[in-house]
């Protein structure tokens, strides 16, 4: 492979910094190298960690994954309650490596929220404001563009979500997106969750398909996955009454896929749902992906309680967060990427998740409000080099990607930053 050049450093301070300024070298990575269609063959040829082979549940799951690629509901529940977390994370790490070897992906992006004014009041939400709240805002086109401008030369994606504005229709968003595209044509616009699409459709008297088509013509490239919460309506009624139903969430993503608009999908866990609800959520996404094939990435994240109204929430522990990421990797055989969402779970847990099934750590992000309003302390405006160092420190190879996971660039850090990875104990299974 040819070296493509030296990327200048943007030097900042966080726990992944070192004292000297390293030279960062990037080189292209062929998309074929990260294609994962033969992951089951690769899995069958891998050494089996002792943690997996000595545990009946994970050994049974490994055999199923090799033979059919698809775990059952019962296997998913068993993984969720298996006393050996290490066996679950080790199996997830095997599957991640069978799919993507040691590569871990991120992109260079910026979050810009269009408005925090919302007609709903989901109980887990710390972001929304009523229209007369002193901190309520709604960006006009100039303000939206000016949020992006300072970052425009070092990002290739803008991620925009917001509240359900009482007045805006699809036209306001078409104006935001077409102006952003005109000014910065290289930027991929990933915007509007399913409930926003539903709200805009209703406000504009358009079908989901017509709404998405209009937005796509204006510059929308993909949808984020937010708003899935738990795709079990009895849970939704308790935490986000009035939001789109589980069926509507899946329908809107299916319509987007049919129009050639890729999407992500998410899960908000640690509120009032059961283990079975979480597995059912994963199965509903898996079924939708069988039908429409447009989910690129799954992003599981735990509920953060600051400024929210869910005192009965069963907050997820660090171990539970890691287990959820691992089980997602194992259950979602048809969704290629599993993200450790730094903005929610923090950099340290995200770097651990890289060895427990996650292959993506989101991006540089630049600015984030929704998780930080709810209590996230994750540092913002992280540089690519800092992210690469985080990935390398976890024993993986950092790869910068584009928004559609079709272009990749390995980031090589200097030798002195190489990680020290403990060996994995493996054993032959007769
Ligand atoms: S989660 Fe979204 S829809 Fe619900 S209150 Fe917050 S901004 Fe509104």
CATH architecture of 15-26+102-412: Alpha-Beta Barrel (3.20)
pLDDT, tens digit, 9 for 90 and up, residues 40-53: 999 999 999 999 99
Output the pLDDT for position 63: 98
If you measure from the C-alpha of residue 163 to the centroid of ligand 1, how many angstroms do you get, rounded to a whole number? 6
164 CB near ligand 1 (under 6 Å): yes
The maximal CA–CA distance of the chain, rounded, in angstroms, is: 68
Chain region(s) in the chain for CATH 3.20.20.70: 15-26+102-412
- Given ligand 1 and candidates 127, 162, 369, which is best to mutate, with the most ligand atoms within 8 Å of its CB? 127
Return d(Cα 113, Cα 85) in angstroms, integer.
37
Label residue 123 exposed, middle or buried (CB < 10 Å: 0-12, 13-18, 19+).
middle
Output the pLDDT for position 21: 45
CA dihedral 347, 224, 81, 235 (to 10 degrees): 130
Q: Give the atom of ligand 1 at the shortest distance from the alpha carbon of 127.
A: 6
pLDDT, tens digit, 9 for 90 and up, residues 52-74: 999 999 999 999 999 999 999 99
Nearest to 356 by CA among 15, 34, 95, 141: 95
CA dihedral 83, 85, 91, 96 (to 10 degrees): 150
Nearest to 384 by CA among 16, 2, 3, 4: 16
If you measure from the C-alpha of residue 314 to the centroid of ligand 1, how many angstroms do you get, rounded to a whole number? 20
This prediction has a pTM of 0.91
- Given ligand 1 and candidates 115, 117, 120, which is best to mutate, with the most ligand atoms within 8 Å of its CB? 120
Orientation angle between helical segments 56-67 and 85-100, nearest 10 degrees:
20
pLDDT, tens digit, 9 for 90 and up, residues 240-260: 999 999 999 999 999 999 999
If you measure from the C-alpha of residue 242 to the centroid of ligand 1, how many angstroms do you get, rounded to a whole number? 10
Output the pLDDT for position 14: 42
Label residue 170 exposed, middle or buried (CB < 10 Å: 0-12, 13-18, 19+).
buried
When pLDDT is cut at 50, 70 and 90, the band that residue 428 belongs to is low
Return d(Cα 256, Cα 250) in angstroms, integer.
10
Give the residue, by CA position, lying nearest to ligand 1 atom 4: 122
If you measure from the C-alpha of residue 101 to the centroid of ligand 1, how many angstroms do you get, rounded to a whole number? 37
If you measure from the C-alpha of residue 208 to the centroid of ligand 1, how many angstroms do you get, rounded to a whole number? 19
Return d(Cα 90, Cα 55) in angstroms, integer.
11
For residue 257, give the 3-state DSSP assignment: helix
**Rounded mean pLDDT of the chain?**
91
Handedness of CA 86, 88, 91, 92 (dihedral sign): negative
236 CB near ligand 1 (under 6 Å): no
- Given ligand 1 and candidates 114, 115, 117, 118, which is best to mutate, with the most ligand atoms within 8 Å of its CB? 118
- Mean pLDDT over residues 151-156, rounded? 95
Handedness of CA 256, 259, 263, 265 (dihedral sign): positive
pLDDT, tens digit, 9 for 90 and up, residues 87-117: 999 999 999 999 999 999 999 999 999 999 9
97 CB near ligand 1 (under 6 Å): no
**Could you tell me if 265 and 299 are in contact, meaning their C-beta atoms sit under 8 angstroms apart?**
yes
Does 30 or 325 have the greater pLDDT score? Answer: 325
136 CB near ligand 1 (under 6 Å): no
If you measure from the C-alpha of residue 138 to the centroid of ligand 1, how many angstroms do you get, rounded to a whole number? 15
């Amino acid at each position: 492979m040819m070296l493509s050049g030296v990327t200048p450093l943007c030097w900042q301070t966080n726990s992944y910094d070192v004292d000297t300024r390293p030279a960062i070298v990037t080189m292209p990575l062929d998309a074929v190298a990260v294609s994962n269609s033969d992951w089951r063959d690769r899995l069958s040829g891998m050494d089996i960690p002792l943690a997996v082979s000595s545990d009946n549940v994970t050994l049974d799951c490994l055999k199923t994954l090799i033979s059919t690629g698809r775990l059952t509901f019962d296997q998913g529940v068993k993984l969720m309650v298996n006393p050996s977390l290490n066996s679950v994370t080790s199996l997830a790490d095997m599957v991640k490596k069978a799919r993507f070897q040691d590569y871990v992906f991120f992109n260079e992006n910026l979050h810009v929220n269009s408005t925090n004014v919302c007609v709903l009041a989901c109980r887990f939400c710390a972001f929304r404001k009523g229209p007369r709240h002193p901190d309520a805002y709604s960006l006009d086109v100039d303000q939206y563009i000016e949020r992006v401008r300072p970052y425009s030369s070092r990002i290739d994606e803008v991620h925009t979500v917001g509240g359900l504005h009482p007045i805006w229709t699809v036209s306001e968003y078409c104006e935001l997106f077409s102006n952003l595209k005109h000014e910065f044509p290289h930027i991929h616009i990933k915007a509007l969750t399913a409930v926003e699409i539903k709200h805009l459709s209703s406000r504009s008297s358009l079908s989901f398909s017509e709404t998405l088509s209009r937005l796509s013509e204006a510059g929308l490239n993909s949808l984020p996955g937010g708003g899935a919460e738990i795709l079990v309506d009895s849970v939704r009624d308790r935490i986000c009454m009035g939001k789109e139903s589980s069926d509507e969430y899946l329908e809107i993503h299916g319509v987007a896929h049919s129009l050639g608009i890729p999407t992500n999908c998410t899960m908000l866990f640690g509120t009032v749902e059961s283990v079975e609800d979480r597995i059912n959520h994963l199965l509903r996404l898996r079924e939708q992906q069988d039908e429409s094939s447009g989910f690129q990435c799954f992003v599981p994240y735990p509920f953060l309680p600051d400024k929210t109204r869910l005192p009965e929430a069963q907050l997820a522990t660090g171990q539970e967060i890691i287990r959820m990421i691992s089980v997602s990797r194992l259950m979602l055989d048809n969704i290629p990427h599993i993200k450790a969402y730094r903005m929610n779970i923090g950099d340290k847990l995200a770097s651990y998740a890289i060895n427990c099934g996650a292959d993506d750590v989101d991006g540089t992000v630049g600015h984030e409000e929704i998780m930080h309003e709810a209590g996230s302390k994750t540092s913002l405006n992280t540089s690519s080099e800092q992210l690469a160092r985080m990935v390398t420190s976890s024993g993986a190879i950092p790869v910068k990607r584009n928004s559609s996971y079709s272009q990749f660039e390995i980031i090589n850090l200097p030798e002195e930053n190489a990680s020290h990875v403990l060996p994995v104990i493996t054993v032959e299974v007769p």
